[in-house]
Each structure stands twice: as C-alpha cells, then as structure tokens.
Structure 1
Amino acid sequence: MASNLVSALFQQATYSSNYPSPSGPTVTPFPNFDASVDAAAINNALNAKGVDEETIISILTTRTNLQRQQIAADYQQSVGKQLKAVLKSKLSSKLETVALNLLQTPAQFDAHQLYYATKGLGTDEDCLVEILVSRSNKEIKEIIKVYQEEFNCDLEGKIKSDTSGAFQKALIALLKASRDESSTVDHDLADDDARALYEAGEKRKGTDVDTFINILTTRNFAHMHTVFQRYTKYSKHDVDKALDLELNGDIENVLISLVKCMGNKPAYFAEKLNNSMKGYGTDDDKLIRIMISRSEVDLKDVEIEYKAKYGMTLYKAIKDDTKGDYEKILLALCGTKE
C-alpha cells in the first residue's frame, strides 16, 4: 500500500456521516413521469419485431428506482404479466442482466449480490467487502431484512459459514450497523483510540485485530480523521503504513476499504471500476454492480474521480471495454456523452 495513503485520502475529503456530493447521481427523477405511459411504451417495445431494445434502455436508465417500481406495477396491472418475467423472456446476455437488476429495489439488489457472492464453490470476498463497507446503517439493516425475505436465510449465518478468522469478525461487525453516523469528534476518545491502535499493532508482537475492527467499524468519519492525526504522536509511521505492516489478505482488504470509504467514497468506487476493466477480460459482475448501485447516489462524483485518476472519462473506458446493447445500457447510466 502506498505510503501516506490514509493522510492523503483524509486531506482531500470533507468529513461527515454522509459524503457531501458536489455532483451526485446520474439518474434523477424523470420530469412529468407517467408510469402508465412508460409501461405501455415498454410493452410495445417488447412486442416489436426483433424487440426495440433502445426504447427499453432509454426508459429504464432515465427513471429512478422508485419510478421503475411504479412502471413494473402498472405493467403487471395492465398486461397481466410480471415485467421481469417478460424482460427475461425477450432479452438476453448482459443486457438482460442489467435490465433485471434495474428493476430490483436497492436493498433487493444488494441482497442478491451478497447471496450470489456466497453461493456455490468459492466466495466473492470483494463483493462482500464493497457492499458492507460502503452502505449506511439503515441500508445494511434493510439488506439484512430483505435477504431473509428473499432467501429464507440469515445473512449473518451465511457469512459465518463462508468466511473465517479476522475477516469474518470484520464483516460481522459491519453487519451490526452500529457506526456512529454523526460528525461529532470526541478529542479525548480520539487520543485514546490512536493509542489503542498503536498498542494493538506496532507496539506488540502480533496484532490485536479486534481493536482495529472495533474502532474502524464503529467510529464516525470525522472522529477517525482526528484519530489518524493523533496516531503520529505514538508512532513514527502513519496509520496506513501500520496497517500495511501488521495485516495482509482479506482482513487488510476490508480495513483498507473502510479507510478509503471514510476518506473519499467516489474515489474508492472509481478505483473499483478501473479494476473491473483493466487487464485481460472484464469483471462484468463488479462493473454492473457499481454502475447500478451508484447511479442514484454519486456516480457523477465517481466519474470526476475516475477522470482525475486515470486520465480518461468513465464513458470512454466503458465504451472501449464493452459492446452492443450491454455497452449502450451502461453508457446510458453514465448520464453523459463523453
């Protein structure tokens, strides 16, 4: 991990329980919205010769999730069939995947992503980390509720059965959704936390990972900024260097991801998007997951960070890495033409 990462991240961000978004989402409420008109247009597009994919893409990517839910309800009432089922029968490949995911509520979408991350052989640790470090307390609680409803299964129990050790402890701590989401800084506690992190890591042989997990998963972002500043009173290293020296593997990934989200969440997602497209092949699951999950939150900010860090627009990166209707629906979510 690059030296001074934590310090740099926190210097470029404003600290609050919710990252202040100068640009925000790429998908916003469609003006003069009429669910019945959109449902009829989608029905016509689905029944057109060869299927009118462009109309379907245009509607699904310019309506908010709430508006899409209303379209689906109106479609069911007027046509007598579930929109998801008809889309599944008429579309194919990755266009089908994106379209069906856009019709899920945010909590359903996250719950399904977590379900498939732990289904079958192997576990998609990056998916587990990405979702749990970046969602609010309210969002995590809703995911847990929906996961139980959708799969008749306890999310915590599933994660426990698929992970182990310190990594498991960190994920379970995040599932508790107990982070202080205020912007209050207790300076005495910040000093105590900084000393505790030092004594849990550098000062001792071996690492008291529980202390790192407890502090990094419960304190608010502003407080942690102060903790990281105070840490240099006790150590010749910055906290980021200490984490690099003390931890490795999945536990390092989850704690470093937490730090990045605390500092600059759009930059964290810009990096994840770049990772999904660099090298040979594309991690389509990750690319789709981030484009959908951030489209109504901060995707414009992610685009700004992407351009600043990688020297090209996210739009161009996606255009270079995808093709066909899959490319069209992802580019439409970008909300820009360049």
Structure 2
Amino acid sequence: MAKSTRGTIKDFPAFKANDDAEALRKAMKGLGTDEDPIMKILTSRSNAQRQQISVAFKTLFGRDLVDDLKSELTGKLEKVIVALMTPAGLYDACELKHALKGAGTSEHVLIEIIASRTTAEINHIKKVYKEEYGSELEDDITGDTSGYFQRMLVVLVQANRDPDSKVNDSVVDQDAQDLFKAGELKWGTDEEKFITLLGTRSNAHLRKVFDKYMTISGYQIEESIDRETSGHLEKLLLAIVKSVRSVPGYLAETLYSAMRGAGTDDCTLIRVMVSRSEVDMLDIRKEYRKHYGKSLLQAIKGDTSGDYRNTLLLVCGGDDE
C-alpha cells in the first residue's frame, strides 16, 4: 500500500534490525526492564522496520519479541507497544474482531474504522481478517448488528465507492435533491437513500452534494442527519460525512472526545495514535490545534501519565503551539 508522507513515524534512515533486536533484548534481560530504549526504538522505526526487528529477534535469541514485550510490560504501556508491533492491516482487523466478539458489540470502534478507511484499506482489512480469523468481516458484522446500521456498514465494507475522479455535476444536483426529499421533506426518513448515496458515491462527489444540499435546504447535511436519524445509525452517518469532508478532522474530533471529561478512553486514544502514525498524524495534529484551541501534544500531556504518556508523545511527534 502507498506510504503517506503525512505521518510522524517514517523509516529510520540508519536502520539495522540486528542492532535494534540486541538493544531490545538487553532492555528486557535480567532483573527489571529498561522501558526507555523500548519506547525510543519502537516509536522511531516504521511498522515495516519493526517487523524486521521481530524476525531478527527470533533469529538471534530464539524468542518471540511480542511475547517478551507482553511479559515485561503492563497496563496501557503494554497495550500501546503491542499495538505498534502489529502490522497495520492486521491491527485494524484485530480491533474490529475485538469489537465484534463477546457479550456486547463496540459499535463506536466499527464506526470509527469502517467510516474513515479508504477503499484500498477496507479491501486490505477484509483480506487480513479472513486470513487471521477464518471468517468474512461482512458475515461477522451481519451476525452482530442489525437494521439500517448493519446495512450501512455492509455497504461500506463492499468497498465499491466511486473513484474521486468521478464527479458529474448533473448527478450532484439530483443526489442533493434526493437526500433532501429522503429527509427534510419526508414524514419519516428514507434511510435507504442515505445509505446508498453515502456508501457508494466518491468523496469528491459527496463534498459537492453536501454544498448543494446546504443551498437547497438551508441546512448542513450533519444537521439533517442529527434531526432525521438516531442511535448507532446517526453516529455512523455523521462519521461518514465527517470523513468525507476530512478524515484528519474526523479523527481529531475522535481524539478530543476520547480525552474529554472525566476518564480517558485509552483504547480509542491508542488506536487512533498508532493506526494514523504513518498515515496522516501531522494533519490530525493541525486539525486538533485549529478546532480545540490547544495542541494534541498538550492534550495528551494533560490526560495521560508515565511511560504510557511518553510513548504517545513520541508517536505524536511534536507540538503545534
């Protein structure tokens, strides 16, 4: 998959897998663990390089690096380090599987990942999910969700969104009219129209539809969704609209929500920070600063502590004050 240049973590220039493997073994050997080199090495190497370190570690010492890290670290620090050691597509697949299994479904995890990933990323996640768990992501979603929420997720997982080059102005007008008729003009809401258009049109096309919708109705599309739908479907439709407008903007809001109020949603904080560290973390930082009046770095400093905080700060990669 294409590498983004908007990440805070990139390939380490003078990379030597064996040297890193030896340094990590030394940090974990004997009594007590030296967390500092673990944090510094793993946050300054790309995911591809971390996988090479893992291979080198097994070759040199006959031990599994991730198993050793799990046995030496605890709590939130362990979670973030293990997340960094997981290949990107597999990490998303693991988070989705975890959200779908057990007593309750973590709908917010399904919404965040599936609404914000590109068509290519969704296809990669589906492939890895099948390899790892022996079942289709779509089947597991269908078995664990229901109603229009389920149908919107299934449409997104098909990953058949038009390419961005496909924008037809006459279709833009029609789509905006259709959404207006399906929502504001209708007694009750025609959810299927929202599902089809928001799940299949290109992002560039939808941005024009949203502008046209505002002209026709006098409302932002988000306001209409807020009024016309509720529950998990509303949250999913809003996440799609926000991601169409700006994925970094949507994920900056997700981080803000994770750190707002009493108690931090550390699982969301770790997931967004790690999964976007090589994709668009610089853009997420910019959006965070613009919308919330302080830098992401300062927010993390105020909301976390210890080596866990230090690891997240290294992933964040700098201040924007």
In structure 2, C-alpha distance between the alignment counterparts of 1:163 and 1:320, rounded to whole Å: 36
Q: Deviations over 1:259-313 (max 9, x none)?
A: 1111122121111111111111111100000000111011111111112222222
Q: Which residue pairs with 2:118 in the alignment?
A: 136
Decide which of 24, 29, 32 is 1:47's aligned counterpart.
29
State whether residues 195 and 231 of structure 1, in contact with CA within 8 Å, keep that contact through their aligned partners in structure 2.
Answer: yes
In structure 2, C-alpha distance between the alignment counterparts of 1:228 and 1:91, rounded to whole Å: 47
In structure 2, C-alpha distance between the alignment counterparts of 1:181 and 1:77, rounded to whole Å: 43
Decide which of 194, 207, 220 is 1:212's aligned counterpart.
194
Decide which of 247, 259, 264 is 1:265's aligned counterpart.
247
Q: Which moved more, 1:311-320 or 1:163-172?
A: 311-320
Q: Deviations over 1:177-198 (max 9, x none)?
A: 1111323310111112112112
Q: Deviations over 1:43-69 (max 9, x none)?
A: 111115411110010011001101111
Q: How many equivalent pairs are there?
A: 318
User: What SS class does the counterpart of residue 237 from structure 1 fall into?
Assistant: coil
In structure 1, C-alpha distance between the alignment counterparts of 2:246 and 2:204, rounded to whole Å: 12
State whether residues 183 and 221 of structure 1, in contact with CA within 8 Å, keep that contact through their aligned partners in structure 2.
Answer: no
In structure 1, C-alpha distance between the alignment counterparts of 2:173 and 2:88, rounded to whole Å: 38
Q: Which residue pairs with 2:293 in the alignment?
A: 311
Q: Which residue pairs with 2:14 in the alignment?
A: 32
In structure 1, C-alpha distance between the alignment counterparts of 2:224 and 2:93, rounded to whole Å: 33
Q: Deviations over 1:245-267 (max 9, x none)?
A: 21111111111111111112212
Q: Which residue pairs with 2:95 in the alignment?
A: 113
1:52–1:252 Cα change, 3 Å: same
- Alignment TM-score, normalising by the size of structure 1: 0.90
Cα deviation for residue 132 of structure 1 reads 0.3
Q: Which residue pairs with 2:155 in the alignment?
A: 173
State whether residues 295 and 319 of structure 2, in contact with CA within 8 Å, keep that contact through their aligned partners in structure 1.
Answer: no
User: What SS class does the counterpart of residue 120 from structure 1 fall into?
Assistant: coil
State whether residues 164 and 205 of structure 2, in contact with CA within 8 Å, keep that contact through their aligned partners in structure 1.
Answer: no
User: What SS class does the counterpart of residue 181 from structure 1 fall into?
Assistant: coil
- Alignment TM-score, normalising by the size of structure 2: 0.94
State whether residues 118 and 159 of structure 1, in contact with CA within 8 Å, keep that contact through their aligned partners in structure 2.
Answer: yes
Decide which of 145, 156, 167 is 2:138's aligned counterpart.
156
State whether residues 26 and 300 of structure 1, in contact with CA within 8 Å, keep that contact through their aligned partners in structure 2.
Answer: yes
Q: Could you list the runs of 5+ residues in structure 2 that have no partner in the other structure?
A: none
Q: Which residue pairs with 2:269 in the alignment?
A: 287
Q: Which residue pairs with 1:6 in the alignment?
A: none
Cα deviation for residue 232 of structure 1 reads 4.5
Q: Which residue pairs with 2:86 in the alignment?
A: 104
Q: Which residue pairs with 1:242 in the alignment?
A: 224
Cα deviation for residue 210 of structure 1 reads 1.0
1:325–1:237 Cα change, 3 Å: closer
Q: Deviations over 1:96-155 (max 9, x none)?
A: 111111111111100110111122111111110000011111111111121122222221
Runs of 4 or more above 6 Å deviation: none
Q: Could you list the runs of 5+ residues in structure 1 that have no partner in the other structure?
A: 1-17
Amino acid at match of 1:335: G
In structure 2, C-alpha distance between the alignment counterparts of 1:237 and 1:113, rounded to whole Å: 35
Cα deviation for residue 85 of structure 1 reads 1.0
User: What SS class does the counterpart of residue 102 from structure 2 fall into?
Assistant: coil
Q: Which residue pairs with 2:104 in the alignment?
A: 122
Q: Which moved more, 1:223-232 or 1:75-84?
A: 223-232
Describe how 1:53-92 pairs up with structure 2 within 5 A: 53-92=35-74
1:230–1:311 Cα change, 3 Å: closer
Q: Which residue pairs with 2:236 in the alignment?
A: 254
Q: Percent of aligned pairs with the same residue? A: 44
In structure 2, C-alpha distance between the alignment counterparts of 1:45 and 1:24, rounded to whole Å: 31
Amino acid at match of 1:315: L
Matched, 1:226 2:204: no
Q: Which residue pairs with 2:128 in the alignment?
A: 146
Amino acid at match of 2:77: L
Amino acid at match of 1:40: E
Q: CA RMSD in A?
A: 1.7
1:32–1:247 Cα change, 3 Å: same
Amino acid at match of 2:16: D
Amino acid at match of 2:256: N
Matched, 1:194 2:176: yes
Cα deviation for residue 91 of structure 1 reads 1.2
In structure 2, C-alpha distance between the alignment counterparts of 1:280 and 1:317, rounded to whole Å: 14
Q: Which residue pairs with 2:305 in the alignment?
A: 323
Amino acid at match of 1:32: A
Cα deviation for residue 239 of structure 1 reads 2.5
